[in-house]
């Protein structure tokens, strides 16, 4: 089932439940009871619960959005560092230059075509990807510079490989859901309490009030879905993509 279909079903279900509860509640209460007024204390408590839950939702959305942005930046830093390694290898003799570029191309191809799917499914990076990057580092580190030009290029290339390794480690840490379980517990319980407070108000069966109550519950469902969707930066519908690699290494046969 598509995630957007699941979202539509969840929003429709939340709206339908609220409307159904309001209608059943009025049917049980009967027409003789006065529903025109709500005690001031209930209105105040409902308002405060709504404000507190809105703050919690805002912080959660900001947190998952920031995590996704950091994951995107780390991925670009990894791809850019490897692109610079490949470009700076021009100072080496043809045989070693081709070896360095082959190491870079092999690592990038493996990450995009193989490791990315594994990371989205298991929430972690692979040992083979780490070994491929380590091979690139060892090849450059163990070759003594043969000229002044190679000596000048050696440290910048090692720095870029180190940056790529650091960005890879960050990518591994950001893989999988980032929101703690206790936060999800608070978000779900808060949603139930916030929507449940609607029933403490004297909502009548007028179309306007039923529509507003249904839209409010559907909005809560949408915001929770959005947090869940952003919670895993490398999977789901709005995940970070491999575009930095495909843009910087257009000559490779990389998956879109």
Q: Judge whether 234 lies within some domain.
A: no
- Asked if residue 18 and residue 83 are part of one domain, the reply reads no
Q: Of 123-132, 170-179, 200-209, 247-256, which gets the smallest average pLDDT?
A: 200-209
pTM for the model: 0.80
Q: Judge whether 55 lies within some domain.
A: yes
pLDDT category at 60 given cuts 50, 70, 90 is: very high
With contact defined as beta carbons under 8 Å apart, do 234 and 111 qualify? no
- Asked if residue 212 and residue 181 are part of one domain, the reply reads no
- Asked if residue 27 and residue 115 are part of one domain, the reply reads no
Q: Judge whether 252 lies within some domain.
A: no
pLDDT category at 92 given cuts 50, 70, 90 is: very high
If you average pLDDT over every residue of the chain, what do you get?
86
Confidence (pLDDT) at 28 = 65
pLDDT, tens digit, for every residue of 1-38? Answer: 566 787 788 788 888 887 787 777 666 655 445 455 66
Of 8 and 85, the structure prediction assigns the larger pLDDT to: 85
The CA distance from 30 to 251, in Å, is: 73
Q: Judge whether 129 lies within some domain.
A: yes
Residue 133 belongs to domain spanning:
39-197
- Asked if residue 190 and residue 129 are part of one domain, the reply reads yes
Confidence (pLDDT) at 1 = 53
As for how many domains the chain has, the answer is 2
Cβ contacts of residue 116 below 8 Å, gap of 6+?
234, 242, 255
């Amino acid at each position: 089932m598509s995630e957007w279909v699941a979202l539509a079903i969840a929003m429709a279900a939340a709206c339908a439940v609220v409307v159904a509860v309001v209608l059943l509640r009025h049917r049980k209460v009967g027409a003789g009871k006065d529903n025109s007024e709500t005690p001031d204390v209930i209105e105040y408590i409902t308002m405060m619960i709504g404000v507190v839950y809105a703050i919690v939702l805002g912080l959660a959305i900001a947190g998952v959005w920031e995590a996704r942005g950091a994951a995107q930046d780390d991925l670009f830093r990894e791809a850019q560092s490897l692109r610079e390694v490949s470009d700076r290898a021009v100072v080496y003799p043809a045989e070693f230059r081709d070896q360095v570029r082959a190491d870079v191309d092999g690592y990038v191809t493996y990450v995009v075509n193989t490791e990315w799917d594994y990371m989205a499914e298991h929430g972690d990076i692979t040992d083979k990807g780490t070994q491929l990057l380590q091979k690139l580092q060892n090849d450059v580190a163990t070759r003594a510079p043969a000229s002044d030009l190679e000596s000048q290029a050696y440290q910048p290339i090692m720095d870029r490989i180190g940056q790529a390794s650091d960005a890879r480690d960050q990518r591994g840490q950001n893989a999988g859901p980032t929101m703690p379980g206790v936060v999800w517990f608070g978000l779900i319980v808060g949603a139930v309490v916030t929507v449940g407070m609607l029933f403490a108000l004297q909502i009548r069966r007028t179309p306007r009030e039923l529509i507003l109550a249904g839209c409010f519950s559907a909005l809560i469902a949408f915001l929770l879905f959005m947090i869940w969707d952003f919670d895993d930066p490398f999977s789901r519908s709005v995940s970070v993509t491999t575009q930095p690699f495909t843009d910087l290494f257009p000559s490779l046969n990389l998956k879109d």
